[in-house]
Amino acid sequence: MKKILWQSFILTLLLVVATVVATARQGDSRSKSFTVTKGGTLDLSVGGGDVRLASWEKNEVFVRADGVSSSDLEYLEMTQSGNTVSVRFQPRRSRSRNVKFDVKLPSDFNATLKTAGGDIELEGSISGKVKGSTAGGDIVLRDMAGSVEMTTSGGDIRTATVRGNVVLKTSGGDIDVGNVDGEVEVATAGGDIRVESVGKSLRARTSGGDIKIGDIGGEATVSTAGGDVRVGKVSGRASLSTSGGDIRLRSASGNVTAKTAGGDVELRDVTGTAEAKTAGGNVVVELRSTGKGPSLLSTAGGTVKLYVAENVKATIDATIELKRSWGWGKHEYDIMSDFKSETYEKGSDLIEATYKLNGGGERITLKTSNGNIEIRKLK
C-alpha cells in the first residue's frame, strides 16, 4: 500500500513539475530580449492589439506580448536578423482585442509599427525614425526626439513635444500637436487640428473642422473645407483657405493668400503682399510694407478695411459696385480714407477712387459690392 501511495505521489509531483515548466515556456514565448546596437530597426506587424513603445538606456530590445492566449502562441513570432528585430502576430481568427505589445528599445533606434486594430503610444527620447499605422485606434506621442510619421484610419492623434519632423494623418479624428522643432504635415478627413508651434514649415489640412495654429518658423499652408482658421505669427509665406468659416492671422513676414467662401478675413501685421478674398464677409488687412507685387482685397458683400503704413509707396485703387436689391435706398456706401485721393467718382452703380501714397508704387486693389471701403493709417 505504501508503495502504491509513494508511486502516486511521485506521479503527481512529475505532473506538477511538467505543468510549471510548460507554463514557464509559454511565458518565455510571450516575451523576449534581443541584444542590438544603435541604428537598428524594430519591425512590428500585428493583426490587432495595442502597441506601446518606450526608450531605455540598454543596448537591448525587449518585447512582451500580453493577452496572447495559449492557442494563439503559434502565431506569435519574435526573431532577430542582424540588427533588425521582427515581431509578427497574425492569428487566423480575430481574437486579439485584449492583446498589448509592450516594447522597450534603445533611444537611437528606428521603428516601423503596424496594427490592424489598436492604439499606438510612443514615449521617451527616441532619436530614430518612427513610422506607424493603425486601422482602428488612437495615436499618442509623448516627448519625442526624432522624426515621426503616423497614420490612423479611425482615431485621434495627440502629441507632446517633438524635436524632429512630424507627419500625422487620420481619416476620422482630431489632431492635437504640441511644440515641434522641425517640419509638420497634418491631415484629417473629419476633425479639428490644433498645433501649438512649429519650428519650420507647416502643412495642415482638414475636410471638416477648425484649424488653430500658433507661431510658425517657416512657410504655412493651411486649408479646411468647413471651419475657421486661426494662425499666429508666420515667418514666411502663408496660404490660408476655408470653404465655410473665418480666417484670422496675427502676423506674417511674407506674402499672404487668404480665401473663404463664407466668412470674414482678418490679416494683421503683414510684411509683403496680401490677397484676401471672401464671398460673404468683411476683409481687414494691415500692410506694414507692400512687398514686391500687387495686392488684392475683395468681398462680394461686406466692408473692406485697409490699414497701411504712412511711409509705404503704393497706388491704391478702390471700387464699390452698387447692386440694387431689396431694401435699396436704406444704405449709403462710400470710400473713406485718411489719405488724399488722386481721383474720386461716384455714380449710380459705381464708386471709384485712386490714391497714390508717397508718389505711388506697388498696386493695391480694393473691391466690394454694396459695402464700404476704408483706408486708414497704420499706427
306-317 burial code (b ≥16 CB/10 A, e <16)? bbbbeebebbbb
Nearest to 111 by CA among 157, 54, 58: 54
* Whether pTM exceeds 0.95: no
- What pLDDT is stored for residue 97 in this prediction? 66
Of the CA atoms within 13 Å of residue 84, those in its CB half-sphere come to 5
Strand partners, 356: 315
Cα(320)–Cα(315) distance, integer angstroms: 17
Quick check: 222 and 229 in contact, CB under 8 A? yes
- What pLDDT is stored for residue 8 in this prediction? 54
Sort strands 350-357 and 314-321 into parallel, antiparallel or unpaired: antiparallel
User: Element (H or E) spanning 258, and its range?
Assistant: strand 256-260
Cα(268)–Cα(284) distance, integer angstroms: 8
Q: Quote the percentage of the chain above a pLDDT of 90.
A: 79
> What pLDDT digit, counting tens, does each position of 122-150 carry?
998 899 999 999 998 999 999 899 999 99
Highest mean pLDDT pick, 21-30, 116-125, 178-187? 178-187
Helix (H, G, I), strand (E, B) or coil at 197: strand
- What pLDDT is stored for residue 149 in this prediction? 97
> What pLDDT digit, counting tens, does each position of 215-235 carry?
999 999 999 998 999 999 999
The letter for the amino acid at 351 is I
Quick check: 300 and 283 in contact, CB under 8 A? no
Helix (H, G, I), strand (E, B) or coil at 257: strand
User: In the numeric block, which cell numbers belong to residue 261?
Assistant: 467662401
Length of the chain: 379
- What pLDDT is stored for residue 208 in this prediction? 85
Residue 364 has φ and ψ, to the nearest 5°, of -120, 120
Boundaries of every domain in the chain: 29-173
